[in-house]
């Protein structure tokens, strides 16, 4: 039980910055001619302070890696459960191609790009979430405190316009708001969980829109880098797709298996991806691959293409977050205007009923 808790804690501490430092150290030591097992033993000794603190998070990770590599397994296999499937896929490609050092440096770029996308998304979502929370607070206060007070003073059945809409909102808040919030949270959780597993024709349509388009961008870039590493080592397109498909998520496996059918039919990788019909990684990238696959330097072109696509993706996500911020501001303004209009509408209804009573 205690060991499980320590491993879970280590997993939470093995974040982007820690992984980046680890990848740089391993790449630098490989460049100086040290074997991988020796590197892992040395890094484990440093992380555990020569065995005095074996339960440090990084020491636990490196101990796993050291033991599995010592038993003849790959570093990518040792890091299963510690890193994302996309990072594991790139590492696997680098080790199988015999270019682990070069692949680690490419992986650093991927992690940094993913980190940048995460920071852009997090920074962009924070403000709309705060605005949305403020809107909910306003609606809750009006629905449970303000409107019921007026409803007790005057029969709301005769209210009209904005005043009537506020009364209906008050009923909704009092009876259904909690259920609606729970349904919204469940929807968000379902979307996040569906990203790596949801497949089929409907998913192809949803991949064109956020947040699924962001997932396609990140996974697609990782696939291109891993694919370029295997191609640079002389592995055939068919075997490369088979290796990557074996450890891919269900969503990615569906796209790679579709391309694999085209390759087995004699198409180049670009034409095979187009023929699969999934639009993966993107229509523009597929067009480029159709051209590059016919000429020399395909592996280098793949790497450049992946880097450029990732940069474009960061810019695209930044723009989407700005649009989301603008929508949040407009939503807040509309809700406040509606509440104010409804409040004055209620006052007018009360004044009209008072004059009628006289």
- The 3 state secondary structure assigned to the chain is CHHHHHHHHHHHHCCHHHHHHHHHHHHHHHHCCCCHHHHHHHHHHHHCCCCCCCCCHHHHHHHHHHHHHHCCCCHHHHCECCECHHHHHHHHHHHHHCCHHHHHHHHHHHHHHHHHHHHHHHHHHHHHHHHHHHHHHHHHHHHHHHHHHHHHHCCHHHCCHHHHHHHHHHHHHHHHHHHHHHHHHHHHHHHHHHCCCCCCHHHHHHCCCCCHHHHHHHHHHHHHHHHHHHHHCCCCHHHHHHHHHHCCCHHHHHHHHHHHHHHHCCCCHHHHHHHHCCCCCCHHHHHHHHHHCCCCCHHHHHHHHHHHHHHHHHHHHHHHHHHHHHHHHHHHHHHHHHHHHHHHHHHHHHHHHHHHHC
pLDDT of residue 206: 92
Kindly report the average pLDDT of the chain as a whole number: 85
pLDDT of residue 358: 59
CA dihedral 226→232→238→242, nearest 10 degrees, is -30
Q: Look at 99 and 173; give whichever has higher pLDDT.
A: 173
pLDDT of residue 352: 74
pLDDT tens digits along 264-280: 988 888 899 999 989 89
Res 202 pLDDT > 70: yes
Q: 210 to each of 117, 214, 216, 315, how far by Cα in Å?
A: 13, 6, 10, 14
The packing angle between helices 85-97 and 237-246, to 10°, is 140
Q: Are 147 and 138 in contact (CB under 8 A)?
A: no
Between CA 224 and CA 312 the distance in angstroms is 15
Res 255 pLDDT > 90: yes
Say which residues have a Cβ less than 8 Å from residue 303's Cβ, sequence separation at least 6.
106, 224, 225, 228
Res 83 pLDDT > 80: yes
Between CA 169 and CA 321 the distance in angstroms is 29
pLDDT tens digits along 277-291: 898 988 888 998 888
Between CA 239 and CA 248 the distance in angstroms is 14
Show me where the domains of the chain are located: 2-83, 99-358
Instruction: Record the tokens describing residue 63, joined without a space.
Output: 């101990």
Q: Is the pTM of this model over 0.75?
A: no
Nearest partner of 324 among 210, 216, 215, judged by Cα: 210
Res 300 pLDDT > 60: yes
The pLDDT > 90 percentage for the chain reads 17
Beta bridge partners of 83: 80
User: Across residues 333-351, what is the average pLDDT?
Assistant: 85
User: Across residues 134-154, what is the average pLDDT?
Assistant: 86
Give, rounded to a whole angstrom, the gap between the first and last alpha carbons of the chain: 77
Q: How confident is the model at residue 250 (pLDDT cuts 50, 70, 90)?
A: very high
């Amino acid at each position: 039980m205690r060991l499980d808790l320590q491993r879970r804690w280590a997993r939470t501490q093995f974040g982007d910055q820690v992984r980046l430092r680890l990848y740089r150290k391993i790449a630098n030591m490989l460049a100086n001619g040290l074997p991988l097992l020796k590197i892992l033993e040395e890094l484990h000794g440093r992380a555990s302070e020569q065995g005095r603190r074996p339960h440090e998070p990084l020491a636990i990770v490196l101990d796993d890696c050291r033991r599995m590599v010592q038993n003849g397994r790959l570093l990518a296999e040792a890091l299963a459960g510690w890193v994302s499937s996309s990072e594991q896929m790139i590492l696997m490609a680098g080790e199988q191609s015999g270019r682990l050092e070069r692949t680690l440096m490419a992986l650093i770029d991927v992690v940094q790009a993913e980190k940048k996308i995460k920071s852009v998304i997090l920074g962009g979502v924070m403000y709309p979430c705060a605005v949305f929370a403020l809107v909910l607070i306003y609606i809750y206060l009006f629905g449970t405190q303000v409107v019921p007070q007026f409803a007790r003073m005057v029969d709301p059945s005769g209210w009209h316009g904005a005043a009537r809409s506020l009364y209906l909102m008050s009923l909704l808040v009092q009876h259904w708001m909690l259920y609606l919030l729970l349904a919204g949270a469940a929807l968000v959780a379902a979307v996040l969980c569906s990203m790596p597993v949801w497949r089929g024709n409907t998913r192809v349509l949803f991949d064109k829109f956020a947040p699924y388009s962001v997932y396609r961008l990140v996974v697609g870039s990782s696939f291109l880098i891993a694919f370029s590493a295997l191609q640079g080592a002389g592995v055939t397109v068919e075997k490369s797709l088979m290796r990557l498909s074996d450890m891919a998520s269900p969503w990615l496996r569906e796209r790679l298996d579709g391309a694999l059918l085209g390759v087995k039919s004699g198409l180049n990788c670009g034409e095979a991806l187009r023929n699969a019909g999934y639009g993966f990684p993107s229509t523009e990238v597929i067009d480029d691959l159709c051209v590059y696959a016919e000429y020399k330097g395909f592996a280098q072109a793949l790497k450049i293409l992946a880097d450029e696509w990732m940069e474009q993706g960061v810019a695209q996500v930044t723009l989407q977050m700005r649009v989301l911020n603008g929508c949040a501001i407009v939503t807040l303004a509309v809700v406040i205007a509606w509440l104010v209009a409804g409040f004055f509408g209620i006052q007018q209804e009360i004044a009209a009923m008072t004059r009628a009573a006289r």
